[in-house]
Amino acid sequence: MKVSTLLFAAASMAQASSLIPRQRASLCELYAYWSGNGYELLNNLWGKDTATSGSQCTYLNGASNNGISWSTTWTWQGAPDNVKSYPYSGRQVAKGRKISSINKMPTSVTWRYDNENVRANVAYDVFTAADPDHPNYGGDYELMIWLARYGNVYPIGTKERTVTLAGRSWDLWVGWNGAMRVYSFVVPSGTVKSFSADVKEFFRYLESNYQYPSSQQNLIGESCTISTARVYQVGTEAFTGGPATFTVDNFSADLQ
């Protein structure tokens, strides 16, 4: 993975740069990667081969111990129901943290799209597995929190119910991705462009209502980081459309 530093005008990121010290990186290659200050950023173009045309670059705009600011610009055509990419920022955490041992998973994010005429989502993505050394591109369980759904894209599985968590309503979709059980909490309408919550609240709901085995599941991630770290992350799954730029003005996350 190659990461090249880049200097460019910061006018469009004035709000974010007032919160996070300025750093710059440009990630355009498949799985190009940056990490620092307890956060990481991945140009995760895992489904690009299903596209008939397109490209994507992801840019670090700033990072500190308090959060990360970044953006990604993409355009993809072909196979409209296939995800082409999931560029994301992730919070690095120590290996071997069982969900039951975590009291809180506080997080906040503010984001925007400059073109909403696309097929895409904006979502948190958290993987867990009984094996703490499980390959970190999947797990036994996947928890997603969809903050936006553009162009009639859908989560895996079927909608089972509407629940209230973190002070708002969510449509809960449940399904399988191979052998991995997937739970997706989807905002029923509109978008949530400023979100603050305790992700542990979602796990508690699954434990109470879906027999999620929190005492047996370790927090893992989907990154290419070193084996002693795992993450939970937020980003955008791009299907088709563009050119479009997705900007995260600030993402922060922690474990307590």
At residue 205, what is the residue type? Y
* Look-up of token digits 């922690």: 254
Place of tokens 């999947």: 138
- The more confident residue out of 38 and 229 is 38
Q: Which pLDDT band holds residue 5 (cuts at 50, 70, 90)? A: very low
Q: What's the token pair of residue 112? A: 């925007």
| pLDDT tens digits, one per residue of 159-200 | 999 999 999 999 999 999 999 999 999 999 999 999 999 999
207 is catalytic: no
Active-site choice (40, 116, 142, 160) = 142
Task: Look at residues 29, 75, 60 and name the one whose alpha carbon lies nearest to residue 224.
Answer: 29
Mean pLDDT of 60-81: 96
Question: Is the model more confident about 131 or about 53?
Answer: 53
Amino acid at 187: V
Going along the chain from its start, the domains and CATH numbers come out as: 26-253 (2.60.120.180)
Give kind and range of the element (H or E) at residue 183: strand 180-186
Report the SS3 class of residue 188. Answer: coil
Length of the chain: 256
State the DSSP string of 1-56: ---B------GGGHHHHTTS-EEEEEE-STT-EEEETTEEEE---TTGGG-SEEEE
Q: What dihedral do alpha carbons 208, 210, 213, 217 form, nearest 10°?
A: -110
Tell which residue, 98, 104, 19, 24, has the closest CA to residue 57: 24
DSSP state letter for 170: E
Three-state DSSP class for 12? helix
pLDDT of residue 163: 98
Q: Which residues are CB-contacts of 100 (< 8 A; sequence separation ≥ 6)?
A: 214, 215, 217
Structure tokens at 197: 């919550």
List 40's β-bridge partners, or say none.
35, 90
Say what the pLDDT of residue 131 is.
87
- What are the pLDDT digits (tens) for 24-37? 899 999 999 999 99
Percent of the chain clearing pLDDT 90 (strictly above): 77
